[in-house]
Each structure stands twice: as C-alpha cells, then as structure tokens.
Amino acid sequence: MTTAVPMAEIWRGDFLESIHRGHAVICDASGDIVQAWGDPDAVILPRSSCKMVQALPLIESGAADAHGLTTEHLALACASHQGAAIHTDRVQRWLAALGLGESDLRCGPQHPDDRVAGNALIRAQESPCQYHNNCSGKHSGFLTLARQLKAGPEYVDPAHPVQLAVREAFESVTGQSSPGFGIDGCSAPNFATTVHGLSRAMAFFANATDSSARGRAARRLVSAMTTHPDLVAGEGRACTELMNAIGGRTAIKTGAEGVFTAILPEQGLGVAVKIEDGATRAAECAMVSILVKLGVLNPESPAALKRRNAPIPSRRKITVGYLRPAAEAF
C-alpha cells in the first residue's frame, strides 16, 4: 500500500523543522484519477468537507423548494461558519419560518470563532448557543428535510430517515459503500470513504450537467457556495478567501483533521486532500498548491500567499521561517 507523502513543510532558517504528510486525489468526470499523492485508497472521515453531499437530499426531496429556501439557505447548509451575525441571524430566521427554534437543533453550543460575536457574548456575560455552532446551517437543513419527510426530531440518529437519505447520497456520489461512520463534533454521523471516493464525489458536483434530481441539486449547491463565500465560512477563513480570489468559479470546503475539498466546474475536476496528522495549515497549503498547479488560482494573490510560502513571524514580527509546499510533491 502506498504511504502518505510530504505535502507541506515548515522551514526555520536553513532547517527543515517539520513535515506534514498526506494524501490527495484529483478526479475527472468519469471518476478516474488524474493525479494522486500518497494512497488514494486511504480510508478517511471527510468531516465538514462533504457538507454539500449531506445537503443533496434537502433539495432532491423537494424540501428546499417546499419551504422557500434561497441560495443563502443552501450556502449555510454547506457551511462551517464563524458564528457571526450574518450567519446566526439567518439561521435563526430560517428555523423561525419552520416554527422551530434553538432547542430543536442537535448540534450543541459552540463559542463563535467570529471575534465581534465572541466579544459581544463575553461583554454581555452570556453563553453561546446552538445558533453559534459552525454546523447550525447544516442542521437547519436536516430539520427542514425531517419536516418534509414527516420524521421525528432526533435527526442525528444514524437510523433516522434524514441520515439514511444522507448515506444513500454519500455512497452514490463517492461510488463506494461506506465502511461505517464516526460521530462528528456536531453529533451527526460522518460517513467514511477513501480519498479517491471523496475526490470522485467532488468531480460529480463539478460535472453535474444532467437533468436528474441529483444533478440539479448538485448544481444548485455549487452555485450557492460560490455565490455566498462569506456564508460558507467567514472573514479570514480559507474557504471564503480562496473562493473570492478565484472569482466564484470554484467551490472550496474545509473539514476538521486536515481534510479539504474543491469542486472545479470549468475544468470538470474534483479534488480531495487529507493531511495525516490533521493539521489545517498543511491542508490549506496543499490545497492552494494544487489549485495553483491546476491554473485556477493566482499564486501571487493574497489568499494564496497567506497559505503557501507563508512567512512565520517571531513575537517581534521578524520573519524566522516559512510554511511551504513540499518541493517533491508540487
């Protein structure tokens, strides 16, 4: 079996201080591998990088249209957001329109990553709630689907109709039977696949041109993500900054533990990255390097420079090292 390969490095002066190893796959419309690093058959948990897959049943079932969901709602269904007001206010209104509220969510409270929202809670001596959870948009989508299916409130149960629909969609677009699942930080099942399977799923989204319900759903989700990068992540985040830098032509999504995906409709390609040690900095560096390699991202753009060949400062703001892509990989 092929092992993980160096994908990102930390250099401090003339010394190679750290190496991040991982796997990556680029797939075409047929699901075949265009290029791979490491082991394409490595089994991984995609974490939040596959939220667009988890949102497919929301549209396919008719729930999105039945409840008047807009592109903003669909972007939030795919989001790992910052918990800023632009996110939480929309989630709150979404659930209110369903006659639901914060207590109907099953994602758990989370302190917002957005500095303004976080500081406001501290000043008010208030605790974060489930609206602030970075997955509250995905869970609002689950609740909307549950309403459409006339299913019960415990929508994160792996045996719930919502999760059965998600698993069917996941296995269909990855082209693989999932060997199982782990429970994500938001308490929902996260189905496992290979790096190749995850890349194949992204390629499905990139090439969804047919008139099937799944194809139409995939196109709508990609359009929502690229139309609203600020809702998919937030200020300062890689997904938002990279989608903006590419001008809305590519959908990009991060996941915990060093997973990153990209959907490239113009090239008809899907990309999946998994860093073995789970480092986000390495996953961002590898994804940026692949996007640069494919010619879709300007290597001199601020969003790229921030994550590829990025300077490491000392406490006195002196550049003492760099985060760089592994030369032998890219």
Residue matched to tokens 């000392």: 314
Measured CA to CA, the distance from residue 298 to residue 291 in angstroms comes to: 9
pLDDT of residue 1: 53
- Burial of residue 9 (CB within 10 Å: 0-12, 13-18, 19+) is buried
Cβ neighbour number for residue 135 with a 10 Å cutoff: 28
Measured CA to CA, the distance from residue 180 to residue 176 in angstroms comes to: 11
Give Cα separations from 205 to 64, 161, 209, 217, 241 (angstroms). Answer: 18, 23, 9, 9, 21
pLDDT of residue 110: 97
The answer to whether the beta carbons of residues 79 and 132 sit under 8 Å apart is no
Residue matched to tokens 């400062």: 313
pLDDT of residue 191: 98
Q: What is the mean pLDDT of residues 26-42?
A: 97
Say whether pTM exceeds 0.85.
Answer: yes
- Residue 170: is its pLDDT beyond 90? yes
- Residue 330: is its pLDDT beyond 90? no
Measured CA to CA, the distance from residue 73 to residue 167 in angstroms comes to: 21
pLDDT digits (tens, 9 = 90+) for 132-169: 999 999 999 999 999 999 999 999 999 999 999 999 99
Q: What secondary structure letter does DSSP report for 22?
A: E
Core vs surface per residue 27-39: b (16+ CB within 10 A) or e: bbeebebbebbbb
pLDDT of residue 50: 98
pLDDT digits (tens, 9 = 90+) for 232-249: 999 999 999 999 999 999
Over the chain, what is the mean pLDDT?
97
Measured CA to CA, the distance from residue 303 to residue 42 in angstroms comes to: 29
pLDDT-based confidence at 8, cuts 50/70/90? very high
Helices (H), 184-307: 195-206, 213-227, 229-232, 238-246, 280-293, 302-305
pLDDT digits (tens, 9 = 90+) for 243-285: 999 999 999 999 999 999 999 999 999 999 999 999 999 999 9
Q: What is the mean pLDDT of residues 112-117?
A: 96
Q: Measured between alpha carbons, how far apart are the two ends of the chain, in Å?
A: 21
pLDDT digits (tens, 9 = 90+) for 295-325: 999 999 999 999 999 999 999 999 999 999 9
Measured CA to CA, the distance from residue 76 to residue 54 in angstroms comes to: 12
pLDDT-based confidence at 209, cuts 50/70/90? confident
Q: Which domains occur in the chain, in start order?
A: 5-325 (3.40.710)
